[in-house]
Every structure is written in structure tokens, then in C-alpha cells.
Structure 1
Amino acid sequence: MKRIISALLLFAPFLASAQNEQTFAEKLGYPKGKKVLIIHVDDVGMSYESNQGAIKAIREGVANSLSVMMPCGWVPGFVNYWKDNKDIDAGLHLTLTSEWQDYRWGPLAGKPKVKGLVDSQGAMWRSVGEVVKNASPDEVETEIRAQLERARTMGLEPTHLDSHMGTLFATPEFLQRYLKVGMEEKIPVMFPGGHNTVVQQQEKVISDQLAMTRMVGKQLWDAGLPVLDDLENSSYGWKGPENGDKSEKALQKYKTEKYINAIKNIRPGLTMVIMHCTIHSEIFPHISDSHVTREGDFLAMIDPELKKYIEKEGIILTTWREAMERRKKVK
């Protein structure tokens, strides 16, 4: 989220008040005063465990949306499943980095077209900073479009676009290309352009910065796209119980409580809640040391206690697909 704010600081000043205005959720026809959530799983296609975690989190739990890393090796495995299950809300997790030590991927546009996105191993750079240092906005847009083209070639028309590791929010120029593709292709993009209550609390956003996010939100809305009122993106930092108990039961309880507390803190409006779900395996820890928090996310999503809380509070669950269908009906 800090990358989003840093990029927006370089946009022209724009002042507005978020407190009393109609939320984007209300503009889409959702009831006033209701929390409307897109419970979203990132990193699909990265591994078998990532695919199964996302699918089971949706089929057996409360998650309702996901996005796919098109350069990764397990994309066919997910798309083949999706072709028989097209009700799943599936977007593109636009990927410009390859961060792991022993499992890596390269750009779909090909090295000759996007040399600035490729490191000495022929893979994408490991960090956002290296992408910023070496890649041009033109190369970034070329790779975005290559990932979209692969999805469409495979028969997957994405319901939305978002950004792996926030790379597309790292500079104003990258952000502009991301927004440009979404608006030109009429594909919703993940961008918190509303009251941003959670964003403000987590990032200590000042009024001018908030106003700039709202400027972009208005731009997306005027282009015919739905817009998020807020974004909850803190779950990756929930590593596990403080007492060190990593048992399945303890991890599930810990993560479920974290999600319930986070949702309590969300104001009415359309909010995307981001997570990373994997099933347990002996292999995934060799890909990433994040396996504990990812398994915890999955366990929380299938926890009956989380579903019970959502239902008790009258929280509305929606998808990017439904949000776009609603946006098309708004004049």
C-alpha cells in the first residue's frame, strides 16, 4: 500500500472529503451502510498448492475471488480446472517479479522485447526496486499486455487486474500504464479509490494523499469501471501464534481471529480483502518460507467460525464480475 501512496504523491493535487459522500458500493446498488467484501486469493498458478488452496478456499470456504500469475508453471493446471468451473471469479495477478530462490519464471513478452525486466538468470527481477531501476514503462506495459494475451489465448477472460508485490504501484509511470490497460480493455483494476479507512489507519495517510487516491478512483469510475472503497492487505504479516504453536488447530484459530478483527475494522463500502492460500505439502516450503501464513489463510477461509461471523454481521460477499455487471447498469 505504501507504493500506492508514494506513486499518488506525484499526481496533481486534488482535494475532496470522503466522510459523507456516497460509497462506490452504494453507487453500484449495494445497500447503504453495508460492508461489501471481495475476499480475494492471490498467487494462483504459482504452484499446485496455490491452485488447490485457492480453489478449496472458494469451494469449501468464504473466499470468492482469485487472480492468476500468468508467467508461472501451474497456470495450465488452474485454467484447465476453470474451464469446467467458469463461475469462479478469476483475474490476472500481473507479475513483474520472480522473488524466490530456487523456483523462478521469466517474462511472457520474451527477453528481446523487455530486456529491462530480466536478470542474469533470464528470470524477472527478485525485487520491486530492481524492476524500478531497470525497466521502462513501455516494457512494463508490453509485459502486462503479453500476460493478458496469454490468458485470452487460453480462453480465460479476466474479471479484473491486480499487481503482484505491488510493483505496478512503484512509480507513477508504472501505475499509469496499469490503469491505462484496464480502462482501454474495460477490465476492472484493483485500486482503492474511496474512503480508504483501513488504508489510512495502516499507512497514516494524510488528507492530500487520500484526495489523490480519490482522484484516480473517479477516473476509473468515469471510465465505466467499478472502484474499491477500501483495501485490507495486512494478512501476509500474520505469521502465526505468538506462543509458537504451529499446529493446524492453533494456526486456524489464530488466523480466523485476525480476519474477524480486520473485518470489524472495515467501514461500509466495497472492500477487497487480500490473502494467499495454499494447502499443506512437503514441497511448498522449498518454494517459499511463507508456507505457514499461507496455510493459515487457507485454514481461516474454511473455518465455520469465520463464515458464521460474516453471516451474523450481515456482511455481503461479492465478486469483481458482479461489481462490473452492476457498473454497466449505472448511468
Structure 2
Amino acid sequence: MRQSFLLLILLISFGVKAQNSELTYAEKLGYPKGKKVLIVHVDDVGMSYESNQGAIKAIKEGVATSLSVMMPCGWVPGFVHYLKENPETDAGLHLTMTSEWKDYRWGPLAGKNQVKGMVDSEGAMWRGVADVVKNASPDEVEKEIRAQLDRARTMGFTPTHLDSHMGTLFATPEFLQRYLKVGMEEKIPVMFPGGHNSVVQVQEKIIADQLAMTQMVGKQLWDAGLPVLDDLENSSYGWKGPESGDKSEKALQKYKTQKYIEAIKNIKPGLTMVIMHCTIHSEIFPKISDSFPTREGDFLAMIDPELRKYIEKEGIILTTWREAMQRRQKVK
């Protein structure tokens, strides 16, 4: 969500200044002072069989703790059937306003006639965020958000949180406001970095006034009774692979594990969501996307004993959106 998030910060203005707090949101939720508290989060569940299995195994066999589901996609039923058998899984909605791949595509759940500005010449959602911004109205975006939430509930899936595929809902202040609105109205936590944002400041190169705006949104969410992230680590999709060019699973796993360790070292105390995309290896997934090496690498890192060993050695706390919301409900 990097470019779109930066655009948001440059444009958004809620008319008031954020109030700095010495406490992190993690501390406000009752986590120990000075601790790094991570939601290790897998995006793009429901997109494919490989994505489902990668996310499930990353949580069951690895250190991942949370995931989110792309409700317009073809493998959603397969995952929801799993979820009903494993209701403890921390599963949110990866609110999907784009359909980016060439040969594998999906359309809006609200229906073409209801959200005409969200549909391209193939009857699918636009491939890129810029096209959604150009053609779709905030009303259409909100209709699609609610349609995706409605499908989840119809299937018996109660999401633990909301977040945004490709950062589309961070692309304009108007889209963001609809995203926040639905989360606050429905009392569903929303992914938004509204705390000290130490990593976000570096990755997005934001300045003090822009940081204050993100913190204001964080305060708005907190006051609405929702937990808030102190920070967001969202760089893993750009980690392409070993510089040596070694494409073996062993080399890819070692490379990705080390990259995650380096990223976690740079995270400051507080509640931080670490984003990734996990898929298992197959002959089919490369036909969907050429991103399979980085996605397979994420999966291999999550199940690497070396990453678990590092997390335990450093005393890092792993948590979920469900637990964060439960803690928020206890805070007056």
C-alpha cells in the first residue's frame, strides 16, 4: 500500500491535531511496557488453493498469527469451510477493489449494475489502484465493502478485522473515510497505523505534520472503541530473493528469514502488524502470478525454526486482531 498510503498522508485533513501520548497503543491494551507486540499477518487468502494452504500452514506450523480473505475470489468457500472447522483462526477481510492478474480475474460482489465505476471492459474489477481512483465513486467503494462483509456473514464467517488489498482504500481521503466508517459502525477493527509509526516514517518518508494526521486517525479509531496499530511493517513484497540467484528452497528460506529478522529488529516497541503473502509451491500458481517466488519465500520463512527461535529469544509477543479487540473491550 506504499504509494497510495503516502498519497493519503499528503491529502487527508480532519481539521484537528493529533494528541501525542507517552503510552503506546500496545501498553493501552495492557501489553507490557517496552515490548514488541506483533500481528504476523498473511494477506490474499481465498485467492487460490495455494494461498489458502500457505496461510493455514504458516499459522499452524509457523509463527504467523493472523490472515485476511479476498471475498470476491474463487477459493473463498474452501477457506471458509476450513475456518468453520478451525474457528480459533484469526481471519479478517482483505477488502478487494482490484483484480490485478492477467488471466485469473474476479468481479465486484455488489454487482456490475450497482458499482459500474468499479468494472473494466472484461467485467472484472480494475487491475490498478489508479484506475479505481479515476473511475469509482466513494459510494460505490462503500457498497462493495459492505457487499464483501455481507458475503462473509452470509457464509457464517465473522471477520476479526478489515484491511485493504493493494492499499486501494488508502488511495484517497474519501475512500479512507468509507473504510473507517464501516469499521467503526460495525465495531470491526481496521488496519490503520495510528501510533508512533517509526517504520512507516522511514518506509513512506513522511514528515511531522503527516505523522500527526495518522495519529489523529488513530485517536479517532481508539475513541470509537477499536484497537489501533502503533506501526506497520509492509516491505516484504519487495524482497525478491537471494542476490546470488540461487533459486533453491533452502536458499530462498534462508534469505527471507534473515530479511524478516532484520525487519523485526528495526521495529520499535508497540503493536505492529507485519504483512506478508504466503503460498505453497505448485505448478498452477505461476500461471496466476509471477510473484510466486516471494510468496513461497514468505511461507518458508514463517515455518523456519530459526525465525521462531529469534522471536522467542528476543521476548517478542505474538498476538492477533481478535485478542487486541478483546483487550480493547476491557479498557475504559
Same-fold status (TM-score > 0.5): yes
Unaligned runs of 5+ in 1: none
1:236 aligns with 2:237: yes
Q: Which amino acid aligns with 2:93?
A: L
Alignment of 1:28-67 (within 5 A): 28-67=29-68
Q: Which amino acid aligns with 1:11?
A: S
| Aligned counterpart, 2:190 | 189
Structure 2 distance, partners of 1:195, 1:171, is 22
Structure 1 distance, partners of 2:233, 2:4, is 15
| Aligned counterpart, 1:97 | 98
| Aligned counterpart, 1:4 | 5
| Aligned counterpart, 1:293 | 294
Unaligned runs of 5+ in 2: none
**How far 1:12 sits from its partner (Å)?**
3.7
- Residue deviations 1:243-272, cap 9 Å, x none? 111100000000000000000000000000
**How far 1:13 sits from its partner (Å)?**
5.3
| Aligned counterpart, 1:315 | 316
SS in 2 for 1:83: helix
TM-score (norm 2): 0.98
CA RMSD of aligned residues (A): 1.0
Q: Which amino acid aligns with 1:72?
A: C
Contact 2:19–2:215 (8 Å) recurs in 1 = no
| Aligned counterpart, 1:70 | 71
SS in 1 for 2:39: strand
**How far 1:3 sits from its partner (Å)?**
1.8
**How far 1:6 sits from its partner (Å)?**
1.9
Contact 1:233–1:273 (8 Å) recurs in 2 = yes
**How far 1:8 sits from its partner (Å)?**
3.2
| Aligned counterpart, 1:328 | 329
| Aligned counterpart, 1:169 | 170
Calculate percent identity across the aligned residue pairs.
Answer: 83
Which ranges of 4 or more aligned residues in structure 1 deviate by more than 6 Å? none
Alignment of 1:82-231 (within 5 A): 82-231=83-232
Aligned length: 330
- Residue deviations 1:194-223, cap 9 Å, x none? 000000011111000000000000000000
Contact 1:13–1:208 (8 Å) recurs in 2 = no
Structure 1 distance, partners of 2:235, 2:48, is 22
Structure 1 distance, partners of 2:142, 2:14, is 22
TM-score (norm 1): 0.98
**How far 1:234 sits from its partner (Å)?**
0.2
Contact 1:194–1:217 (8 Å) recurs in 2 = yes
SS in 1 for 2:102: coil
Contact 1:169–1:175 (8 Å) recurs in 2 = yes
